[in-house]
């Protein structure tokens, strides 16, 4: 009986730690109007310039664009690629994407992913694939939403303006 009580106490403590960890997650919401320079005030201007420089130094997160495109082409399957850099299905772009995200400051991570999605949108439109643009971009936003957490960067999740709440059926 004492062993059962000890096991129950350990299980309860473990569940408590999981709940506490889950409540600490950070989410950043990107507002497209602010990103395009139509708002944000002076305090945001310096940060935005700094973010723009960081994003440009990381080649507009080209490896993240390639990773998201790869997943969109697979229909969004294989939710976690290369989790922990060693397990799961390999993606040739995942590690590079995570490295690029880790080079950005915390406040620039989601903005960088938003810019990467914008670059993807332009490239898809230039290829003349207008009918698929909206669907592919929504899928890319869904992938990008959890990408910081998969790469173990902060914030652990991003929300993008106009993003559908769930892509799960």
What pLDDT does residue 118 have?
94
Kindly report whether the peptide bond that precedes residue 72 is cis, defined as omega within 30 degrees of 0: no
The two structure tokens encoding residue 49: 């310039």
Please state, in angstroms and as integers, the Cα–Cα distance from residue 34 to each residue in 10, 45, 141, following that order: 47, 10, 18
Higher pLDDT, 90 or 57: 57
Find out whether 28 and 109 touch, Cβ atoms under 8 Å: yes
pLDDT band at 131; cut points 50, 70, 90: confident
Most confident of 1-10, 89-98, 99-108: 99-108
Task: Using a cut of 0.75, tell me whether the model's pTM lies above it.
Answer: no
CATH code given to domain 45-160:
1.10.110.10
């Amino acid at each position: 009986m004492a062993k059962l009580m000890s096991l129950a106490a350990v299980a309860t403590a473990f569940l408590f730690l999981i709940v506490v960890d889950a409540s600490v997650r950070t989410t950043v919401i990107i507002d497209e109007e602010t990103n395009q320079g139509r708002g944000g005030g002076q305090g945001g201007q310096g940060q935005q310039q700094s973010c723009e420089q960081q994003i440009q130094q990381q080649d507009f997160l080209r490896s993240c664009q390639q990773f998201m495109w790869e997943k969109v082409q697979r229909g969004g399957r294989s939710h976690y690629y290369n989790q922990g850099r060693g397990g799961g299905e390999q993606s040739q772009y995942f590690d590079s994407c995570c490295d690029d995200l880790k080079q950005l400051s915390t406040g620039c991570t989601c903005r960088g992913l938003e810019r990467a999605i914008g670059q993807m949108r332009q490239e898809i439109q230039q290829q003349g694939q207008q009918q698929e643009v909206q669907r592919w971009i929504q899928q890319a936003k869904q992938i990008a939403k959890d990408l910081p957490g998969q790469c173990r960067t902060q914030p652990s999740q991003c929300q993008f303006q106009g993003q559908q709440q769930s892509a799960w059926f």
